[in-house]
């Protein structure tokens, strides 16, 4: 697994052993970021200078890819010990510590943003929860309620290919890659 483009292009990322973490494949990240960069609802401004939130972060590949492509900051939320070790190793290897925050906790128990040290609320959100647990909506509700997401944020949610969950907001895009389905939408007003 590698960073696909940007400042850290080609740099290798580590993943924990076993199947509890499902890192997003390089080709899927490439396709997703190409879409984000070139879609009429996306563009460079969706990534460059953005505050990113990578929820159920696993290895941190999505947030680190965004940082490599010019995001200002990324906050990673993960609670699995093996995934946290890989995530922290990846942040350290890329020397991304100045722009990255790792929260070792359950996404449904995240506290409010403590001003001013935790940065601004995120405008680009990646959610990749365990499949089949319908955690996207509760996670978004918690993160919005805690001031960690701005209204109008661009959300990329990964679910299992055949999962029936859909956001209440209109989809901007939907793509299927192997066992995964990517849903992209913009959060409406709170």
94-153 pLDDT, tens digit each:
999 999 999 999 999 998 876 655 568 999 999 999 988 889 999 999 999 999 999 899
Residue 182's pLDDT band, with cuts at 50, 70 and 90, is: very high
Quote the pLDDT of residue 186.
Answer: 95
Count of beta carbons in the 10 Å neighbourhood of residue 127? 24
- At residue 189, does pLDDT exceed 80? no
Per-residue pLDDT tens over the stretch 165-181: 889 899 999 999 888 99
Quote the pLDDT of residue 57.
Answer: 96
Is residue 7 domain-resident?
no
Is residue 9 domain-resident?
no
Is residue 163 domain-resident?
yes
Cα 181 to the chain's mean position, in Å? 14
CATH number for the domain that contains residue 131? 3.40.50.150
Is residue 32 domain-resident?
yes
Is there a contact between 121 and 51 (Cβ–Cβ < 8 Å)?
A: yes
- The dihedrals phi and psi of 87, each to the nearest 5 degrees, come to -60, -50
Is there a contact between 67 and 98 (Cβ–Cβ < 8 Å)?
A: no
> Rounded CA gap, 85 and 185, in Å?
30
pTM: 0.93
Say how many domains are in the chain: 1
Closest-CA residue to 77 (of 97, 52, 99): 52
Is residue 15 domain-resident?
no
Q: If you average pLDDT over every residue of the chain, what do you get?
A: 91
**Angle at CA of residue 158, ends 51 and 25, nearest 5°:** 90
Is residue 108 domain-resident?
yes
Is residue 10 domain-resident?
no
Count of beta carbons in the 10 Å neighbourhood of residue 46? 19
Is residue 59 domain-resident?
yes
- At residue 190, does pLDDT exceed 70? no
State which residues form the domain around 172. Answer: 26-186
pLDDT (average), residues 8-23 = 85
């Amino acid at each position: 697994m590698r960073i696909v483009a940007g400042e850290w292009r080609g740099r290798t990322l580590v993943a924990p052993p076993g199947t509890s973490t499902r890192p997003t494949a390089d080709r899927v990240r490439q396709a997703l970021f190409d879409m984000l960069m070139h879609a009429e609802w996306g563009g460079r401004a969706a990534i460059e200078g953005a505050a990113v939130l990578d929820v159920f972060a696993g290895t941190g590949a999505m947030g680190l890819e965004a940082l490599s492509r010019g995001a200002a900051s990324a906050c990673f939320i993960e609670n699995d010990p093996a995934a946290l070790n890989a995530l922290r190793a990846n942040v350290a290897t890329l020397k991304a510590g100045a722009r990255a925050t790792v929260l070792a906790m359950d996404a449904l128990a995240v506290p409010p943003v403590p001003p001013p040290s935790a940065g601004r609320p995120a405008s680009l959100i990646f959610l990749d929860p365990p499949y089949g647990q319908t955690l996207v909506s509760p996670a978004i509700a918690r993160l919005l309620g805690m001031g960690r997401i701005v209204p109008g944020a661009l959300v990329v949610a990964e679910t299992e290919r055949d999962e029936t969950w859909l956001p209440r907001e209109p989809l901007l895009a939907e793509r299927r890659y192997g066992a995964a389905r990517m849903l992209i939408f913009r959060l409406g007003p709170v």
